Homo-oligomer: A and B are copies of this chain.
Amino acid sequence: MVTTLSLHPDRLFPTDETERTIARRLFSHVEDLPIVSPHGHTDPAWFSQNDAFSDPASLLIAPDHYLFRMLYSQGVPLEALGVPARDGTPVETDPRKIWRTFAEHYYLFRGAPARMWMDWVLAAVFDVTEQLNADSADRIFERISACLCEDAFRPRALFDRFNIELLATTEGPLDELEHHKAIRESGWQGRVITAYRPDPVIDPDFEGFAENIARLGEITGEDTQSWLGYLAAHRKRRAFFKSMGATSTDHGHPTARTENLSQAEASALYKKVLGGDVEADDAERFRAHMLTEMARMSLDDGLVMQIHPGSFRNHSAALYARFGRDKGADIPMRTDYVHALKPLLDEVGCEPDFTLILFTLDETAYSRELAPLAGVYPALRLGPPWWFHDSPEGMRRFREQAMETAGFYNTVGFNDDTRAFLSIPARHDVARRMDCVCLSRLVADHRLPEDEAAEIAVDLAYNLAKKAYKL
Please report A residues at the B interface, Cβ cutoff 8 Å: 3, 8, 10-16, 18-19, 69-70, 72-75, 107-113, 115-116, 131, 312, 315-319, 328-329, 331-334, 336, 338-339, 342, 345-346, 349-350, 352, 361-364, 367-369, 371-378, 380, 388-389, 391-394, 397, 400-401, 403-410, 441-442, 444-449, 451-452, 456
Beta-carbon contact of A364 and B374 below 8 Å: no
Residue of B nearest to A437 (CB): B445
A111 touches B403 (CB 8 A): yes
Q: Are B392 and A352 in contact (CB under 8 A)?
A: no
Closest-by-CB residue of B relative to A349 is: B316
A259 to B: closest C-beta gap in Å:
15
Picked from B376, B407, B445, the residue with its CB within 8 Å of the CB of A15 is: B445
Enumerate chain B residues within 8 angstroms of A10, measured Cβ to Cβ: 445-446
User: Given that A350-B318, A364-B368 are contacting pairs, would A338 and B331 also be in contact in the complex, using a CB cutoff of 8 Å?
Assistant: yes
Contacts of A312 in B (CB 8 A): 338-339
Once the chains bind, are B375 and A69 in contact (CB under 8 Å)? yes
Provide the bound-state CA to CA distance between A53 and B10, in Å: 51
A15 touches B16 (CB 8 A): yes
Quick check: B361 and A368 within 8 Å, CB to CB?
Answer: yes
The 10 closest A-B pairs by CB, nearest first: A75-B352, A8-B446, A11-B446, A391-B404, A15-B444, A111-B403, A69-B376, A317-B346, A332-B368, A388-B405
CA distance A14 to B346 in the complex (A): 43
Bound-complex Cα distance A316 to B388 (A): 31
Which B residue sits closest to A374, measured CB to CB?
B73
Q: Name which of A111, A336, A403 has the most chain B CB atoms within 10 A of its CB.
A: A111
